[in-house]
Amino acid sequence: MEFFSGIAQGFAAASSLNNLYFCLIGVTWGTIVGVLPGIGPLGGTVLLLPATFGMQPDAAVIMMAGIYYGAMYGGSTTSILMNIPGEAASVVTCLDGYRMARKGRAGAALFISAWGSFIGGTLSICGLAFLAPTLAKFALEFGPAAMFAITLLALLMISALGRGSILNTLCMAVLGLFLGTIGMDTMTGFLRMTYGIKELSDGIGFIPVAMGIFGVSEILVSTQTVLPTVIKPKFRELLPTREELNRSWGPIFRGSLLGFFIGLMPGSAHIVSSFASYALEKKLSKHPEKFGTGMIEGVAGPETANNACTGSHLIPFLSLGIPTSPAIALMMMALLIHGITPGPLLAVNHPEIFWGVIASMYIGNVILVILNLPMVGLFVNILRTPFRLLFPIILMICLIGIYSVNASRVELAIMLIFGIIGVFLRRYGFDGAPLVMAMIIGPMMELYLRQSLMVSGGNPLFFLHSTLATVLLIIAILLIVGSIVFSFLKPQAKKVFEES
């Protein structure tokens, strides 16, 4: 009963002209920030932070939340059109989305991406509204042991990202793990392989690496080939075919569930969610070998998942007052500055904020899908620009984007160096995606393993204290054992081994 009155109150609050106005600003700015490579929702929120000091608290949080999930919509645009991940979560969309664009299906990819984002976001908000209190307690279960198990599982799934031979994929994954170790060790303070370069003490950032390996290398490779004439898309080609739409429902549904569950994890949930969805779709598909050549499932699933995790990611914050990532910490600060204490009593003391934010997220998703779907045509027309003009502009945007985050020349150098490395990787049939993913997940896994061991006092059976961790680790073991057994049963798999 209280739920319905709450939701009604929420919609009333969210539909006030002031809140609608700031919701619109938030989602639009979020989309722009998502499209611009380099700067992410955190940077975008920080830029608007001074404006929030003078705003009403509910409008401030509505706007900041809008930036957060708006960025998930926009991030896919540059991934699909230019093979540049506009946002960390969109790295996976580059794999099939860009291939689709090259085949002339950019409009369909953008459409399905926006559509999936809408469904994922909306379902996630419903989940948030109904299940917040129950799930909040569950979210606290994600201690270091469970997080270690999840990152281990994610690492096992990296093989799904590769297009070529398994051996090449694994080489890239190992290289990514190695690159991820560079930097200061959080536990002891030792500097690993930084060679005295202070900027490397926080590690080689994966954003410059991802933009280098995907975007910059794409541009460099294109200078070596004669490009096909610019595609002039017709209106009918902008929309997905009936077949593509039908194939997308499954991934969208699965992506929503997966994204929602993974969003409960603290930290960089959206990256893991899109990646997990991609791996899942590839495993479930009847044509896994076609992934990486332009399969719509590889766009629909991940894009839905990264939007689905925005709703559940807010649960620890709205229900318990715990900020699970820097962007959310900013929202918390915005509330504190207005004298509102986030915590379990937020729903009771300030229902207009609690329910108002939830309702406005729903409204924001509607606004975003209305904004993004018609803009598909506009974006696809960017591809009509002659490549000799388009590529230098993209390069400039990448450089400015990277510098705008940390004002670091070292990161610019990293991006360009990895761009060149990316050219050689492609030449010899290696993929960048496993490298980037391993770079992200490797350090996370190491941190959680060591945290778990510290909490348990050195006991390697630390996961036994957490049912969640034990279950996940059993799944991981089953996956490994299952794959080995399977490979002996399937003759094709044996051939792959012999080929590499």
Partner 1 sequence: MISVVISLMALAVFFAAPVGAADYPTRAITLICPVTPGGSLDLNARAFAGIAEKHLGKPVVVVNKPGGSGAVGTLAVVESKPDGYTICLGWPSQTAIIIGEVVNGRKPPFTIDDFAILGRMTNSPPLFNVKYDSPWKTMQEVIADLKSHPPNTYKLGASGIYSIGHLPMEILNKEAGVKIQLVPVRGGGESIALQLGGHTHFSCRYPGPSLPLVKSKQMRVLASFGEEKIKNFEDVPTFKELGYPNIFFYSWYGLLANKDTPAPILERLRRLVKEVTQDPAYLSMMGKTGDLVDYADAEGTKKAWQREYNQILPLIKELEIEKKEKEKKQ
Binding site for partner 1 (CB under 8 A): 42-43, 46, 49-50, 53, 139-144, 184, 186-189, 198-199, 201-202, 266-267, 316, 320-330, 333, 336-339, 341-345, 405-408, 447, 451, 454-455, 457
User: By C-beta, is 346 or 398 nearer to partner 1?
Assistant: 346
CB of 183 to partner 1, least distance (A): 10
Phi, psi of 55, deg, nearest 5: -90, 165
User: By C-beta, is 326 or 392 nearer to partner 1?
Assistant: 326
Q: Are 302 and 274 in contact (CB under 8 A)?
A: yes
CB of 35 to partner 1, least distance (A): 20
Q: Are 149 and 469 in contact (CB under 8 A)?
A: yes
User: By C-beta, is 43 or 107 nearer to partner 1?
Assistant: 43
In the block, tokens 């479930």 appear at 284
User: By C-beta, is 327 or 423 nearer to partner 1?
Assistant: 327
User: By C-beta, is 50 or 491 nearer to partner 1?
Assistant: 50
SS (H, E, C) the chain: CHHHHHHHHHHHHHCCHHHHHHHHHHHHHHHHHHHCCCCCHHHHHHHHHHHHHCCCHHHHHHHHHHHHHHHHHHHHHHHHHHCCCCCHHHHHHHHHHHHHHHCCCHHHHHHHHHHHHHHHHHHHHHHHHHHHHHHHHHHCCCCHHHHHHHHHHHHHHHHHHCCCCHHHHHHHHHHHHHHHHCEECCCCCCEECCCCCHHHHHCCCHHHHHHHHHHHHHHHHHCCCCCCCCCCCCHHHHCCCHHHHHHHHHHHHHHHHHHHHHHCCCCCHHHHHHHHHHHHHHHHCCCHHHCCCCCCHHHHHHHHHHHHHHHHHCHHHHHHCCCCCHHHHHHHHHHHHCCCCCCCCHHHHCHHHHHHHHHHHHHHHHHHHHHHHHHHHHHHHHCCCCHHHHHHHHHHHHHHHHHHHHCCHHHHHHHHHHHHHHHHHHHCCCCCHHHHHHHHHHHHHHHHHHHHHHHCCCCCCHHHHCHHHHHHHHHHHHHHHHHHHHHHHCHHHHHHHHHC
CB of 191 to partner 1, least distance (A): 9
Inter-axis angle of helices 144-156 and 433-455, nearest 10: 150
User: By C-beta, is 140 or 230 nearer to partner 1?
Assistant: 140
Q: Give strand pairing partners of 177.
A: none
CB of 94 to partner 1, least distance (A): 25
Q: Are 3 and 131 in contact (CB under 8 A)?
A: no
User: By C-beta, is 299 or 449 nearer to partner 1?
Assistant: 449
User: By C-beta, is 35 or 347 nearer to partner 1?
Assistant: 347
CB of 432 to partner 1, least distance (A): 25
User: By C-beta, is 341 or 483 nearer to partner 1?
Assistant: 341
User: By C-beta, is 41 or 432 nearer to partner 1?
Assistant: 41
Q: How far apart are CA 390 and CA 386, in angstroms?
A: 6
CB of 239 to partner 1, least distance (A): 39
* Per-residue CA distances from 230 to 1, 60, 69, 233, 256 (Å): 58, 43, 33, 9, 35
Q: How far apart are CA 354 and CA 461, in angstroms?
A: 40
CB of 450 to partner 1, least distance (A): 8
CB of 222 to partner 1, least distance (A): 33
Q: Give strand pairing partners of 184.
A: 191
CB of 143 to partner 1, least distance (A): 5
User: By C-beta, is 98 or 317 nearer to partner 1?
Assistant: 317
CB of 58 to partner 1, least distance (A): 16
Q: Are 130 and 259 in contact (CB under 8 A)?
A: no
User: By C-beta, is 256 or 451 nearer to partner 1?
Assistant: 451
CB of 326 to partner 1, least distance (A): 3
User: By C-beta, is 417 or 455 nearer to partner 1?
Assistant: 455
